[in-house]
Amino acid sequence: MAEPLLKLTNVGKSYAGTDALADITLQVEPGKVLCLLGDNGAGKSTLIKILSGFHTPTTGTVEIDGQPVVFHSPRDASANGIATVHQYGGTFPLMTVGRSFFVGVEPTKGWGPFKRFDKATANEISVRELKGLGITRINDGNRLVGGMSGGERQSLAIARAVYFGAKLLILDEPTAALGVKEASHVLRIIMQARRKGIAVVFVTHNVLHAMTVGDNFAVLIHGRLADSFAKGERTREEITDLMAGGEAMAELEAEIAQYEQDA
């Protein structure tokens, strides 16, 4: 078993005395996909915010490559090779593809006061990296990001993270807003990143998507780790049941049965 790239031990976060997250212990290895499952409000967002440096945990430790780390800002997290891609791609709809790809790390040419943004290089690299992920429709870096589909924007954000050397890719509901075809393309890109040896944390509430690409799974309920298991250890029904909180589903089924009887 490979050394974990990221390891959380008893991580918790409380806001004003309320535990949003408690006792989270999990790990991700390079070249593996950890699926973080959970219903809305289960604490997925809080966990992502801790990993991407927006929040510091109240308790517990975060280790990268065996070294304990504390992130005080998103910058700290990205300096440690963690890249987070949000549902809407975290991209800028009214910017060109080339400009958006290089926000914050703009390539320049020239010298001294004549140093300037190298648009040609930015456009060329961004289009090439998109092609590498199978996006062939965008052949001009001057296109606006807003003209891309949701899946293409996700791909752009992932391409960007991979290009800038992310070791850990956190994908926050990347497939939630996408159609079937586009979602499967994004899943394919996740597998591509995995093959490159990147550790992926894939946050979703779509059990099917999770089971397609996941190596390991963690289910959050009310801010606690309800279950964690490896691929093949649970069936789809078991996971869905667990996420929905079992009883809630059982209640619903009972109600439906009642309606059918009444009808």
Partner 1 sequence: MAIAASPGVQVTKPVAAPPAPRTQSSFGRLTRRPETGALAGTVLVFVIFTVLGGSNFISIGGVASWLNVAAELAIIALPVGLLMIAGELDLSVGSVLAASSMTMAIVSGTYGAPMIVGIVAALAVGAAAGFINGLIVSRTNVPSFVVTLGMNFGLAGITLGLSRLITGTTNVPLDPGPFFKGLFGSLIGGQFEVAIFWALGVALLIVWLLQMTPFGNWVFAIGGDKESARATGIPVTRVKISLFMMSALGASLVGIIQTCLYNGAQTSTGQSFVFNSIIAAVIGGVLLTGGYGSVPGIILGTLTFAIVSQGIYTTSLSSDWASFILGALLLAAVLMNNTFRKLALSSGVRAPKIKKA
Interface residue list for partner 1 (CB under 8 A): 52, 74-75, 78, 84, 86, 88, 90-95, 99-100, 102-106, 108, 115-117, 128, 131-137, 139, 143-144, 146-152, 181-182, 185, 188-189, 192, 195
Work out the number of other CB atoms within 10 angstroms of the CB of residue 41.
13
Q: How far are the Cα atoms of 160, 211, 252 from residue 262, in angstroms, in the given order?
A: 56, 37, 15
CB of 130 to partner 1, least distance (A): 11
How far apart are CB 67 and partner 1 at their closest, in Å? 21
Query: Which of 214, 186, 187 is CA-nearest to residue 201?
Result: 214
Task: Between 29 and 182, name the residue whose CB sits nearer to partner 1.
Answer: 182
Q: How far is the CB of 134 from partner 1 (least distance, A)?
A: 4
Dist CA 181 CA 184 (whole Å): 5
Cβ 31 to partner 1 shortest distance, Å: 15
- Across 121-165, where does the E strand assignment appear? none
- Of the two residues 108 and 258, which places its CB atom closer to partner 1 in the complex? 108
* CB nearer to partner 1: pick between 115 and 236: 115
Question: What is the number of alpha carbons within 13 Å of residue 156 lying toward its C-beta?
Answer: 34
Q: Which C-beta is closer to partner 1: that of 136 or that of 261?
A: 136
For the CB of residue 233, give the shortest distance to partner 1 in the complex, in Å: 28
Q: What φ, ψ does residue 169 adopt, rounded to 5°?
A: -110, 120
Residue 139 or 258: the one with the smaller Cβ distance to partner 1 is: 139
Smallest distance from the beta carbon of 228 to partner 1, in angstroms? 28
Q: Which is nearer to partner 1, 27 or 154 (CB)?
A: 154
User: Positive or negative, the Cα torsion across 180, 185, 188, 190?
Assistant: negative
Tell me which H or E stretch contains 18: strand 18-28
Distance (Å, whole) CA 249 – CA 63? 37
Q: How far is CA 42 from the centre of its chain?
A: 16
Query: Closest Cα partner for 180 from 147, 135, 215, 150?
Result: 150
Closest approach of Cβ 47 to partner 1, in Å?
Answer: 16
In the complex with partner 1, which residue's Cβ is closer, 66 or 113? 113
